[in-house]
Structure 1
Amino acid sequence: MMVLVTYDVNTQDAEGRRRLRQVAKACVNVGQRVQNSVFECKLDPLQFAQLKKHIDGIIDSNKDSVRYYRLGNNWTNRVEHVGVKETYNPEGTLII
């Protein structure tokens, strides 16, 4: 299933900036950054549960927020892109 992960981490202190880097790294490991704090992640249910648990262990729920949008398996009909950044196909060939 495709999951959109968005987050807003309070970066007013060094600890917040550390949390921001850790959340971003957790998302980079499983998805594609599509905007600064927005990731598209193609995950199975177990991977999704693991990601949520990992991020829950990083954030300070009194200062930060994370939102998960489950777009499901039919996500291609739910995502539209307009603008300068090229879109990508997470099911396509990955060239490194």
Structure 2
Amino acid sequence: MMVLITYDVNTTSVAGQRRLRQVARTCEDYGQRVQNSVFECLVDPQQLKEMQIKLERIIDPQTDSLRYYRLGANWKGKVQHVGAKQGYDPEGFLMV
């Protein structure tokens, strides 16, 4: 299933800046950054739960927030990209 993850981490402190980096690194383990604080993650239900646990251990719920948008298995018809930064297909071929 495709899950869109967005986050807002308070970076007014050194601890907040560290949390921001940790959240981004964790999201990179599961998906692709598509905007500054937005990731598209193609995961199964187990991976989603694992990722949520990791992310929710990192953030400070008093000052930070996470949002999960479950787009499901038929996500391709629900995502439209316009503008800069070429889109990608996580199910497509990867050339190295």
State the TM-score, normalized to the length of structure 2.
Answer: 0.98
The reply on whether 1:9 has 2:9 as its aligned counterpart is yes
- Pairs aligned (count): 96
Q: Which residue number in structure 1 is paired with residue 49 of structure 2?
A: 49
Shift of 1:95: 2.3
The aligned counterpart of 1:78 is 78
Distance, in Å, in 1 between the alignment partners of 2:20 and 2:50 is 18
State the Cα deviation string for residues 17-58 of structure 1 (Å, max 9, x = none).
000000000001110000000000000000000000000000
1:8 offset after TM fit, Å?
0.2
Counterpart of 1:86, as a letter, is Q
Gaps of 5+ in 1: none
Aligned match of 1:34: 34
Distance 1:64 1:47 in 2: 22
> 1:79-94 counterparts in 2 under 5 A?
79-94=79-94
Distance 1:84 1:13 in 2: 31
Alpha-carbon offset, residue 10 of structure 1: 0.1
Gaps of 5+ in 2: none
**Mapped partners of 1:33, 1:48: distance in 2:** 16
Superposition misfits of 4+ residues, deviation over 6 angstroms = none
Query: Distance between the aligned counterparts of 2:66 and 2:19, measured in 1?
Result: 12
Counterpart residue identity of residue 58, structure 1: I
- Alignment of 1:60 onto 2:60: yes
- The separation in 1 between residues aligned to 2:94 and 2:15, in whole angstroms, is 34
